[in-house]
Amino acid sequence: MKLQKLYSYARRAIDDYNMIEEGDKIAVGISGGKDSLALLYALHGLSKFYPKHFELIGITVDLGFDNMDLSGIQKICDELGVPYYIVHTDIAQIIFDERKEDNPCSLCAKMRKGSLNEKLKELGFNKVAYAHHRDDVVETMLLSLMYEGRFHCFAPVTYLDRMKVTVIRPLIYVHEADIIGFVRKYDLPVVKSPCPADGNTKREYAHELLQSMIKDNPGVKNRMFTAIVDSNIKGWECANGAHY
């Protein structure tokens, strides 16, 4: 996938759900994975020509693992001219050493988002961009069906009232396969997650289930995504007519 295609996908989602307003100060949550790097490039490119002007920074929450090298991300941010902040935490120690959590993902996500939101509020930023893509949307719906018994998914735009922060997800129209192609084409320095639970989660199970379904029925992912967009799930009411 070329940069122009990435810009097109992101802009359509931003326009459809009114994700960006004039003067927004947006922090990109950069995990170091392929998705967050693609999001960084998408928003950096759009910031040059999008009709509503916005400011952009990158933030990584360092969970405290010793073997996570973020120098490649720092270099990319320097090249793009995007200010980059690393929030150092002891989340890994708390979850794995002190609490010895059997199912660490939920608590880790809560603590990581809390640290991220605190930093962007400290810097005076009002929005944070997450790199959830089209496959993530469908997988989240599958998880909700299987483990909660309801048809549900995160929304393209979510306002966190307690923090006074708005979460936006500009990559919801982008296929994961396209992101993989984009990262390979531009040789981006993806940082492998050092978390010992990586690859052994319920989300990974949903990912594998979706891939199996796609193999047997190639159009199933797009039909499931359409069902979400056309549903009555809160937050998915498209402001400008979806282009999915």
Could you tell me which residues are beta bridge partners of residue 87?
A: 61
pLDDT digits (tens, 9 = 90+) for 184-210: 999 999 988 777 777 668 888 999 999
Least confident of 38-42, 101-105, 141-145, 179-183: 101-105
Measuring CA to CA, which residue among 25, 89, 38 is closest to residue 60?
89
Stretch 40-69: mean pLDDT, rounded? 93
pLDDT at 101: 74
Higher pLDDT, 99 or 136: 136
- pLDDT reading at 244 higher than 80: no
Which one, of 13, 75, 10, lies nearest residue 43 by Cα?
10
Q: Tokens 């936006």 label which residue?
A: 168
Beta bridge partners of 84: 58
Angle at 72 between CA 181 and CA 198, to 5 degrees: 65
Q: Give residue 73's pLDDT.
A: 94
| Range 54-69 average pLDDT | 90
Which has the closest alpha carbon to 176: 129, 137, 217? 137
Tell me which CATH code domain 3-229 carries: 3.40.50.620
Predicted local confidence at residue 96, as pLDDT? 83
Backbone φ, ψ for residue 119 (5° rounding): -70, -45
Check residue 95 and give its pLDDT.
84
Question: Is residue 241 over pLDDT 60?
Answer: no
For 99-130, write each residue's pLDDT tens digit.
877 778 888 889 999 999 999 999 999 999 99
